[in-house]
Chains A and B, each alone.
Chain A
């Protein structure tokens, strides 16, 4: 286990290094445009070059990179060019916002897909199973911006029950969270439902469940005590991997609802060429991606003792 953890850590650091270098090189060619965006459309070329000089963008690439790397490791994540604020202070509240959104989506998705998946898997090929399967294929096929469009058309324009923007402009509000959470849950729950269903159906057909039923245990108890734990192994690993999606995959939804989170910040930064903000965002994304993969592997061994890592 320790060897696995160390291998993962080494590969993560290597990936972070490669990605940060790539991003640095990519945005090096764009820095005059960056200065133009910071200073405005009507700024002079001399002004732009001066801005690059003053803010240290003209130092050789490797000097800038080492300076960034040193700062990143010691907690100084440099300043965002677009917001002229330290990247760390800018990103932290946005990460919190995305954590709120992602947490709610995660809890709702897991709850819905486990319930539906188990209901569907215990009685395979029945009417209930068919209905749940069709509904989950259907909802998974609707991209986030399309379901967001439908939800806004119905609940904002037609019924006028909910706000169409979730920017928290008047402070935190639960009402504004409803539509973004619903959008993401609709897109995601189908996949996990089908995962749980397949796993549950397989377990229900196994010998030991049949034995448990035949020796006269109540059906409900067989499902909950005997089948569920084994049926949850496969869905669990996939659900943990969803954490990564909830950080990096929510960009469209956040932009759609003007939700002031990590995804939207990263989108704005990439459009602006705000290199230090992008770097910090990318590094966080890599850590979360590798970490969720690792937790998923560990959880897998925990739930399924037959699996051992060398």
Chain B
């Protein structure tokens, strides 16, 4: 993988990135998307610097208060409190760290595996293609929720694999998080592989691949240095959409009680925790739903903008 990181390091790389951002400015939809995504990224990075309450601190007297309720310390609960009297604004903002970190991590892992599967299937063809595509089809045909639950329950913190990781010094959050990453990988990598395979089938007939073969480069070199970088255009757009899907999937797992362990402020879990309280919980339910919607909307709009400018090139 070091080759992959090193190869695009040509002069003018930053100029190219700057040019892409400049191009994105021509797409209003893309700019709105970028703004929404940046908003959550900046919130996640600078949550510590904002004047927020402790997201885990429980105020026993102020349960399920509506937005803008004055708080005993002289301030306000800007977005109200949840069923344990915790400040929703603080939980949302600190929660964005968890959401962005684990969705990003899971997407990167799924992409790495999916790209390797796809490029190997597309370039090697023959039995490689048959076997890799079959493995992919098995996981695509697997009902996704069953796949998630099987992996999360069989490899979670209570399983022997989880116990071993805990013995190696990983906290419960990490064990659970890594299991989620693995589950997302199994569900997502085959989809990525399918796209990459299609792209590679087209790219491998190009002259530069033939040139590399004549030079005597190894198949691994051709796959990683020649093929993958040239497939990056459509893949960047897809990665953006995929990150949105993964964010939804992880939040849905949180909602179903399969996500990160409490008391961490996972957005999906924030909804399911207060759902049982009826009308009084309406306020506490809406904000996390709004947060996840704006983040995914930002990613989708950004992907749209990127596609628009990539078609223009």
Contacts and interface: CB of A to CB of B under 8 A. Distances in A.
Interface of A: 11, 14-15, 18-19, 22-23, 26-27, 29-30, 134, 137-138, 140-147, 149-150, 152-153, 157-158, 248-249, 251-252, 255-256, 263, 266-267, 270-271, 273, 278, 281-282, 285-286, 289-290
Given A11-B137, A267-B149, A249 B144 contact: yes
A256 to B, nearest CB: 8
A14 B134 contact: yes
Contacts of B150: 23, 26-27, 270
A145 B154 contact: no
A15 B150 CA distance: 18
Interface string B235-256: 0000000001000100110011
B145 A149 contact: no
A145 B289 contact: yes
A206 B292 CA distance: 40
B142 A141 contact: no
A150 B286 contact: yes
A290 B141 contact: yes
A157 B278 contact: yes
Closest 6 CB pairs of A and B: A141-B297, A146-B289, A270-B149, A149-B289, A285-B143, A157-B282
B143 A266 contact: yes
A30 B154 contact: yes
Nearest to B279: A157
B175 interface: no
A169 B114 CA distance: 44
A285 B141 contact: yes
Given A26-B150, A270-B145, 5 more contacts: A27-B150, A143-B248, A146-B290, A251-B256, A286-B141
A214 B246 CA distance: 48
B256 A267 contact: yes
Nearest to B146: A270
Contact of B271 (A18, A138, A149, A286): A149
B138 A15 contact: yes
Contacts of A14: 134
B153 interface: yes
A146 B145 contact: no
Interface in B249-284: 251-252, 255-256, 268, 271, 278-279, 282
A267 B153 CA distance: 12
B94 to A, nearest CB: 19
A18 B136 CA distance: 12
Contacts of B300: 137, 140-141
